[in-house]
Amino acid sequence: MANRITRHIPNATTCCNLFSGCIACVMAYEMKYELAVAFIILGAIFDFFDGMLARLLNVSGLLGKELDSLADDITFGLAPAMIVFSLFKEVHYPEFLIPLSEYIPYTAFIIAVFSILRLGKFNIDPRQTSSFIGMPTPANALFWGSLVMGLHDFLLSVHFNAVYLFLLVCLTSWLLIAEIPMFSLKFKNLSWKDNKVRYIFLLICIPIVFLLGIGGLAAIVIWYVLLSAVTQKKA
């Protein structure tokens, strides 16, 4: 009886990730960005523990792998796309784009499309067992969530407009599938030699968050991408 219950615990945890992602999408659509980000983070917590529980209970399987990717695309693909969709409805539009302002918000879903492409590549790419090729979807979701929360007033000002937002959507979507090696934050041990890049990354993150607050999380994602581009290619 216990085995019948425990074998479903990891998949149930993955479904909690999916459930959190669905709520995040609704909150994003209603422009409740703080709640959307909160549920994305909650989904990330469930995403962290489902794999750990599967290994701990020795009940990993193909179903769990498929569920994980589907849940991740909702929480880290569709939810940030919904945040950007709502943001497109708020931002300033240059005069030449006003006739298209009703349709441009739908370009936000490019994020969801490239997120599932990135997850599919991750599932079949043997190079990504201990590191990543392309930006992880949780990092992309964190970037968009913290950007909208931390810099909302600037994003709605005349200094920013829908053109810049669309270009940012294209850039982050490309980074998801780009052939850029990016380091994992998983520590196999605590030695400086094996984890130098991780320690440097974390040490710089502290003053960024202290100085920039919630918007600093977006800066941290940029720092992560830049550090990966410099260090991982050399490795």
User: Which structural domains are found in the chain, ordered by start?
Assistant: 2-182 (1.20.120.1760)
Considering the entire predicted model, what is its pTM?
A: 0.88
Q: Under 8 Å CB-to-CB from 114, ≥6 apart: which residues?
A: 77, 173, 174, 176, 177
pLDDT of 196: 87
pLDDT of 61: 66
Cα separation of 211 and 226, whole Å? 19
pLDDT of 128: 67
pLDDT of 183: 85
pLDDT of 95: 93
Low-confidence residues in the chain, pLDDT < 50: 1-2, 235
Q: Under 8 Å CB-to-CB from 117, ≥6 apart: which residues?
A: 176, 177
For 9-46, what is each residue's pLDDT tens digit? 788 888 999 999 999 999 999 999 999 999 999 999 99
The token pair at 137 is 């979807």
pLDDT of 184: 83
State the alpha helices, DSSP H only, in 58-191.
62-73, 79-88, 110-124, 137-150, 152-155, 162-177
pLDDT of 230: 86
